[in-house]
Structure 1
Amino acid sequence: MAAEKNNGNIYTVSNLTREIKSLLENKFPFVWIIGEISNYAVPVSGHSYFSLKDAKAVVNCVMFKNQKTSLKFNPENGLKVIGLARLSLYEPRGAYQLIFEHMEPEGAGSLQLAFEQLKKKLFQEGLFDAAHKKEIPFLPLKINLITSGTGAAVRDIIKVANRRLPLCRLELLPVKVQGEGADREIAHALELANRSGKSDLIILARGGGSMEDLAAFNSEVVARAIFESNIPVITGVGHETDFTIADFVADLRAPTPSAAAESALPDKKNLIQILERLEMSMVSSMNQRLGFLTNRIHDLESRLKSPRRTMDDYRFRLEELESRMMNSLENQLFHKKEKLSWACRNLNGSQPQVEAGTRQLKELSKRMGLEMKGCLDRSRTRLDQLEMHLSALSPESVLDRGYSIVQTLPEKTIAMDAGKIQPGTSVEVFLSKGRLMARVEDSICE
């Protein structure tokens, strides 16, 4: 019965699968399909393998590496997408699959989804943290402008700078602000400004536009270049309602290019007013201080005694002390004279005793001299004897009698025992006149 229905043909598994594959691929060459991504995986090959499902069915899908380059977002599990795919049957397993050529997220556009995905990624990495924000200099003397060289943004910034702070130098690094390669040009300009290191500030700006127009400022390469910049960066991209990834990473976000210039540069008029207020405050403080010091000087002058008056006081004191000293000396001199007169009178009354004492003193002096001379003679004789004895015992005297002194080298110890001196030892022989340097050939102990 089955053979009759198949016109007498019996299919092999491979033949049947091939015919089904041909029917499917011819019937559905391209299809638009909507579903939710699950089991998303990217092996080493770079191709994406995943399932697309709805509430009632699941189909295997693949998107090859070359087709993925046109995507503006990253596919991920749970994301609902609409895509254009080719229907294909994989013969070895007899299972059909979808080969995607194009894909878009359902609802939000791909650019918006890519924006949210990159924003989430960089936020998790900490690129938006306030701790990494650099302080904007109060009075920059040089600013690098990174924007289109022909756009309205650069003219607006120059106009604001000339009005607010003309002395600030502006240096333009012209770049593409939209289109293919714009993000790489902007990142290169940021790196160039940092390598030169001569600017105090960088302003990254462009006028308004659609999300597609602002794509370069929503790129990861620009975001990381801003984060790695050692020079503070102010962004002024688009209109007030436009927010880009570059705005989140920058050290300061301004709503427009003109606002970026105003945020970067203080107003000259305000600076002059501040300086005038500071000058007035300084003058007032100085006047107060001078007034205080003047009053202090007057107070000290009133309390300070005149040097001339002090000298006069000391002069009077000196004259008084001099007068008292003279009176004291005169009194002492008078008493000394009285005492001397009394001593002279007593001395004249005992003249005989003085003469006897004088004779006794002379006799004692003569006896003491004789005694001292005898003592010196005895000491000199004793000293001569000791010198003769010492001379007889000295080494020089021994050498003069024909003896010698032997000293080993290099120790310089006196040789006392021949048995303790080894043959070949160098010795020094001291004689009465001179010395000999010798070497021991043999030693004889007796």
Structure 2
Amino acid sequence: MSAREQQPIRRLREFQPLGRLTDEQLILLSSRAEKRKFGPGQRVIERGVKDGLEYFLLDGEIKLEAVDGRTTTILAGSDKARHPVARLQPRMYTVTAATSGEFLIVAQDVLNQLLRSAPVTENDVEETAVGGGDDGSEAHDLLMEFYADLRSNKLALPSVSDVAWKVRRATDRDDSTAEQIAQVIAADPSISAKLVRACNSPLYRGFSDVRTVRESVVRLGTRTTRQLVTVFSMREVFKSQRPELQGAMDRLWRQSREVAALCWVLADAATNLDPEEALLAGLLHDLGAIPVIVHAEHHVEIFADRQLLDRVIDELKPDIGAALLERWEFPASFVTAARHAEDWMYQPPQEELQLVDVVILAQLHAMIRDRQGSELPRFETVPAYRRLGELELSASRSLEILNQAQERIDEVQKLLSIH
């Protein structure tokens, strides 16, 4: 059942970003919106769909299910219900009505047009959690345009290198030989050189040095080769054409590299997980920040303020990073790690330890090492620590492992710095 019906302005103001609109704009929006009811168990939104609509939950309870099987519920009137449901497009969640409910549905282009012309106050800016800008300033108008581009899926997204794609395809085939995989890698001289240098590093060195890509593939094995090729191809993603924004990219690369090194050491020393998978998950955990920085190239006036840029990145990177990894066809474990890397209380549905647990632990350690620990949770309260079970990695033990493994951490950092 659906109907067009004027909604009370007071009710519309409960939702973000509708609260930034004037009374006249809300009346216009209400006249163009659709009110739709759903029964228990009815599918509301399909994952992967790009429909150009915003769904605001007016009544009832809904369930969101991600590609990795994780579910969450949203109850009308709660804090989560103040924002559009599953707003990133293509949709990243399947949305099902848990009870009888009702939605207000608005076309994104209608909402974006109204937001661009909406007046802005300092309180409105704080509501968006991105800060900055004076009332009516050009900077804030551009900021609204930035959000509109995100909602309408106009965001420029990076891509994986051709060689990384082809290596992944080759290693997926059971009949691929080391010679065939080496031929694919050899198409990129830069990655070829990095792989040989990595194979001769203290992390992978054998009794003698290797000289060819084929010898490197044989020594490393197809799984490690695949992960390292992807790791080396990622460096080019952390690049900007604007010198003034390359600083943000470099900071992001350094942070990602540090977390990746800690992931490798923790996974190798204290878990049963593949260290190279943990390394790659750590390197990709902040991937969602890259499109934000790339988009900022067109709006330098806004993002010249590093604090403002950091706040926008923190707000948007989990969903954008997860969407990117899904697009690149990464396993669900990597998608989950990107989405929940800084969700300290996250607990995966699986009983066994997951990549996301190692990334969370590495993030915590990195922040402590950088003296950012004042607002961090106590180690014993973080589910990722408790999930280690028989591995018995306590807070003090993990710090001890990392201190003892500083040389190996440095080696991993060098591996990621190979030019």
Q: Could you say which TM-score interval applies, normalised by the shorter chain?
A: under 0.3
Q: Higher RCO, 1 or 2 (CA under 8 Å, sep at least 6)? A: 2
Q: Which has the higher strand share?
A: 1
- Normalising by structure 2, what TM-score? 0.22
Q: Which has the higher helix share?
A: 2
- Normalising by structure 1, what TM-score? 0.21
